[in-house]
Amino acid sequence: MQSYFDMTKEQLLAEQETLQKEYQDYQSRGLALDMSRGKPSSEQLDLSMGLLDTLDGKSVMMASDGMDTRNYGGLDGIPEAKQLMADMMDVKPEQVIVYGNASLNIMYDTISRAMVTGIMGHTPWGKLDHVKFLCPVPGYDRHFAITEHFGIEMINIPMTEDGPDMDMVEDLVNHDDAVKGIWCVPKYSNPQGYVYSEETIKRMAALKPAAEDFRIYWDNAYVVHHLYGGDEKPFLNILEECEKAGNPDMVFEFASTSKISFSGAGVAAMAASPANLEDVKKSMTVQTIGFDKINQLRHARYFKNLEGIKAHMEKHAQLLRPRFELVIKTLREELEGTGAGSWTEPKGGYFITFEAVEGCATRIVALAKEAGVVMTPAGAPFPYGKDPKDSVIRIAPSFPTMEDLGLAAQVFTTCVKMATVEKLLKTAE
């Protein structure tokens, strides 16, 4: 396919006319398609329906240590749930606190606690004149929403295929005591699907922060979310690496079963050093009498162990793989060679990142919406919703049916081409 950048003005005008007819055809169909968020499909949720049959009125409700899961107690989780989540996160059970249904709640609470009571005896961030956070971009919009909510200054850190730009991270963390944290989605990053390299993780663990209460907020949301199980990159344990580097307290790690079992009724956990966990529990004893231990017991008995989770996730992969492959096939067939953009081809996670020609992302998303396809807003993967280049678009293939997804992908590529041609014609004026 000829690159749009090599076309004459007359050729671009002819292409625009063809694209406009395609677009008007899509508009006439009254489409209502959604590729806006990484929600599991109903088929995926159906995979976990057996979870509801794990416990009934005749079940023994005692945890393995004799705790009655129907009662108060067990602030940091029942033993079998701690073991299950620890195995999934590749940490030790004693490093884990099991919470409620969502890791986002834990991350919000962790930042809130730092603002109000401080971390391990340090000055609460809310009493400081200036607090900064490093944000690898493109990244997870809900992370950025948390730090923005608390008025924390966010600094963009460019992402590479190996993880954040570590030269920039080291310079800022090691020399600015206002830098208190960094958001990380280290495995199948949201939205690019990158996996941090061993070198990146080692450098992250070896940081020498100017702020003693600096922490790495390690959101391992997609730790077992492989699309191709036999094609996994080596992945180091951040808690172990921090300990080896003499920084045992420098990381909070988060994970959940939100996209493993039920998104609204899963189990979430945090892993950290003994000193961090002790500090967290001081607030937890005031905040709650404990989380839903019955749900913890249900999950532990249903999945049994890490092998049970892996087998379950292969079922998810069988549903997700065709969706990712369909979108990528469409992008290749419709856009390869045009110069209209590039995209990631992840081996796991929930998203594909499309990078349009600079200045085109907002227009593409608007065109798609007008044709009946809802996308994540342009700019969402950046702090404050502002993409400096207006080029990144997050594609979420998981929720639509295959038929709807195929059509949505076709509409999307038409919109990409339209926006690119428009921009080139304006440049040619």
DSSP sequence for 282-341: HHHHHH-S---HHHHHHHHHHH-SHHHHHHHHHHHHHHHHHHHHHHHHHHHHHHTTTTSE
pLDDT digits (tens, 9 = 90+) for 231-282: 677 899 999 999 999 999 999 999 999 999 999 999 999 999 999 999 999 9
What's the rounded mean pLDDT across residues 330-336? 98
Q: Are 364 and 356 in contact (CB under 8 A)?
A: yes
pLDDT for the residue numbered 231: 65
Q: Are 396 and 350 in contact (CB under 8 A)?
A: yes
What's the rounded mean pLDDT across residues 148-176? 98
DSSP assignment of 221-259, as one string?
A: TTTT-BSSTT-PPP---HHHHHHHTT-TTSEEEEEESTT
Residue 190 has pLDDT above 80, yes or no: yes
CATH architecture of 61-304: 3-Layer(aba) Sandwich (3.40)
pLDDT digits (tens, 9 = 90+) for 305-323: 999 999 999 999 999 999 9
**C-alpha to C-alpha distances, 241 to 71, 244, 251, nearest whole angstrom:** 38, 5, 10
Angle between helices 141-149 and 103-116 (to 10 degrees): 30
d(CA 242, CA 348): 25
pLDDT digits (tens, 9 = 90+) for 96-127: 999 999 999 999 999 999 999 999 999 999 99
- For the CA atoms of the chain, what is the radius of gyration? 23
User: Exposed, middle or buried, 192 (CB in 10 Å: 0-12/13-18/19+)?
Assistant: buried
Tokens of 27: 């508009």
pLDDT for the residue numbered 319: 98
What's the rounded mean pLDDT across residues 144-155? 98
Q: State the maximum Cα–Cα separation within the chain, in Å, rounded to a whole number.
A: 78
Q: Are 119 and 279 in contact (CB under 8 A)?
A: yes
What's the rounded mean pLDDT across residues 162-166? 98
CATH superfamily, domain at 4-44+310-428: Aspartate Aminotransferase, domain 1 (3.90.1150.10)
Sorted by sequence, the CB contacts under 8 Å of residue 410 that are 6+ apart come out as: 26, 330, 334
pLDDT digits (tens, 9 = 90+) for 16-49: 999 999 999 999 999 999 988 889 999 999 999 9
Residue owning tokens 């990381």: 251
What residues does each domain of the chain span?
Answer: 4-44+310-428, 61-304
What's the rounded mean pLDDT across residues 157-178? 98
Please state, for a pLDDT cut of 70, what percent of the chain lies above it.
Answer: 99
Residue 425: Cβ within 10 Å count: 16
pLDDT digits (tens, 9 = 90+) for 41-58: 999 999 999 999 999 999
d(CA 398, CA 360): 24
d(CA 217, CA 283): 18
CA dihedral 238, 242, 243, 248 (to 10 degrees): -110
pLDDT for the residue numbered 229: 81
* Strands 251-256 vs 215-219: parallel, antiparallel or unpaired: parallel
**C-alpha to C-alpha distances, 319 to 86, 152, 193, 397, nearest whole angstrom:** 26, 39, 17, 11
pLDDT digits (tens, 9 = 90+) for 120-147: 999 999 999 999 999 999 999 999 999 9
Instruction: Give the CA angle between residues 268, 142, 160 to the nearest 5°.
Output: 100
What is the chain's mean pLDDT, rounded?
97
Residue 230 has pLDDT above 90, yes or no: no
